[in-house]
Chain A
Amino acid sequence: MVLVDAVVQGVLLGGLYALFAAGLSLVFGVMRLVNIAHGDFIVLGAYIALMVVSLTGLHPFLSLVLVVPLMGLIGYALQRLVLERTMGADVLPPLLVTFGCAVIIQNALLALFSTDAQRLSAGPIETASLPVGSISLGVLPLITFGVAVALIAGLEVVFFRSRAGRAFRATSDDAETAEAMGVDTRHVFALAMALSFAVIAVAAVLLAARSNFDPFAGPARLLYGFEAVIIGGLGNLWGTLAGGIVLGVAQTLGAQVSPSFQILAGHLVFFLILALRPRGLFPRMD
């Protein structure tokens, strides 16, 4: 029963990891860019939500009304003002620039908020749970998982059914030709970044309501999101959800062995998948 419970909790945890991964995967899909500061932007989003909540008194979930557009704007501006100048065949400049962003965000948050662990108080929902058989499911993890599924479904619709999505796919396939056909690729890239940051905002609030965070909590979120992307298979958002679930289950099962084995178990499963199925569990059919 302990094992079943661990697996179920791991699956729900996987929803959160899929949220970390979705924004990362989206940006990589559209412009082959890996945002090393992805996790740090999640933490930045959590601090912004914290400020919004303390200034307006809104419930953390309602604060998303402000946090999502705010993060979207930051993403758009980051792409137009900074990252756009680093795009090209060479992967080095965007990597190093986002790496610089990570260091700046961590230390700026440290200077502003100190290393004290923070948390968003979501009220009674934090500890509420539903008994199912002999195990109990936390309401917050359930909501997180539901949001992850809904968000990925929404992103799929945007990507494959909308005008913006068509521009995303066209730019991803061949930016030069898309440009020749009248697509403003720089705007498209910035839109993709803004969308990624909107997802970051949602992940940030759900993370902050669930666990403590501090200025240096970002890198681990980047690594979990990245592992979910690679385990699931590049370019497949549903695969990313599956990757998040595999990672979450690996971690909760690892924690059963020993608390210090939790994160390590996730990393080891990541390397195992990389060794056995280098293209991930569900690579996109090309």
Chain B
Amino acid sequence: MSAATRATIGLILIAAILASLPLWTGAANLRLVGEILSYMALAVLWNLLAGYAGLVSVGQQAFLGLGGYTLFICTIWLGMPPLAAVPLAAVAACLAGVIFAPLLFRLEGAYFAVGTWVAAETVALIFAAIPSLGAGAGMSLPAAAVKGIASSRSMREWLIYWIMLGLALAILGGTFALIRSKAGLALMALRDNPTAAGSVGVDIWWTRFWTYIGVAAATGAVGSVIFLQKLRISPDAGFSLNDWTAIVIFIVVIGGIGRIEGAIVGTLLYFLLREMLIDYGTIYLIVLGLVGILVMIFSRGGVWGLVERHLGWSLLPTRRLRD
């Protein structure tokens, strides 16, 4: 049995356990696991962007909020069922990515990061200026639309949880498959040495473009489901740098950047840390920042990098070894 087969079987097993969760746990746990899944998905996506394609974005909240708003606009203005709006949220975020990418890619290395932040602020300000979207106050999903998701409250929570689970697994599986494909080879070459990758025929600009808009689309979809669960959106919540990008960055850095497992391990560590420090308010963000800095200075591969080096484990093997 190859390592990839084992990884697939392991994933299916975990997916089955997670899918059965609503049957044997309460609403609070379900919401927590749903949140963990959403952060895992965001971490896997940001890792693909920064860890592989070398696009360090601090503006992913643009796509997340756009996805959330698209869902609300589609259900309230167009009368669509909320679930049908999820793919449209991905399309809207993807289009925003198509508009921003050619502009932002003109910015050199580190300035790209600040550029993505300006882009996110721009999108947030536009939404905050539209009165029919509730301007700065935001808007709620009308009761009729909420009832349209599912008849009972618990059924609705289950459904939203399953959608988040499906989305997170699709993002994880899709990223894994992408990294193992030929395009993934280009991405890994880009990660290890952009100049060398360019010289052996990797089209850096287009590889980055497809990664950027693909990640934007998936982030938009995740955003739509997050706000479907919250039932309410505002510019501050939808386009929050702290919630949707800063925390995700720390998750990936602490878990191990440039490794899919790093994003997963980082997410679990983050929620462990959060549950432990939740009573200390601002201290927990300071701790998170400090740990992130220490990891970047002393162990750039993060926690999973250490595990890999000392134990030789690899849960989702993406390395190509000759048999």
Contact = CB atoms under 8 A, between A and B. Distances in A.
Interface of A: 28, 32-34, 36, 82, 85-86, 91-97, 99-101, 103-104, 106-108, 110-111, 219, 222-223, 226-227, 229-230, 234, 258, 260-261, 263-264, 267-268, 270-271, 274-275, 278
A217 to B, nearest CB: 14
A82 B125 CA distance: 35
Nearest to B280: A111
B271 interface: no
Interface of A is mostly: helix
A274 B103 contact: yes
A267 B292 contact: no
A223 B121 contact: yes
B16 to A, nearest CB: 36
Given A32-B109, A267-B125, 10 more contacts: A82-B293, A91-B110, A92-B50, A93-B300, A97-B293, A111-B281, A258-B129, A260-B128, A261-B129, A271-B122
Interface residues of B, number: 44
Given A82-B293, A91-B56, A226-B118, A219 B241 contact: yes
Given A95-B56, A219-B241, A85 B297 contact: yes
A278 B126 CA distance: 23
B110 A86 contact: no
Contact of A267 (B108, B110, B118, B293): B118
A96 B114 contact: no
B274 to A, nearest CB: 14
B80 interface: no
A270 B118 contact: yes
Classify the interface of chain B: helix, strand, loop or mixed: helix
Contact of A223 (B108, B117, B296, B300): B117
B249 interface: yes
A227 B117 CA distance: 11
Contacts of A86: 296-297
Nearest to A272: B103
Given A95-B113, A96-B249, A264-B129, A36 B121 contact: no
Interface in B225-269: 241-242, 246, 249-250, 253, 257
Q: Which 7 A-B pairs have the closest CB atoms?
A: A34-B110, A103-B289, A104-B289, A100-B293, A100-B289, A278-B106, A107-B282
Contact of B249 (A34, A85, A99, A260): A99
B111 interface: yes
Contacts of B125: 260, 263-264, 267
A127 B283 CA distance: 39
B110 A103 contact: no
A95 B112 CA distance: 11
Contact of B296 (A93, A104, A219, A264): A93
Contacts of B249: 96, 99
A94 B282 CA distance: 24
A222 B300 contact: no
A192 to B, nearest CB: 15
B285 interface: yes
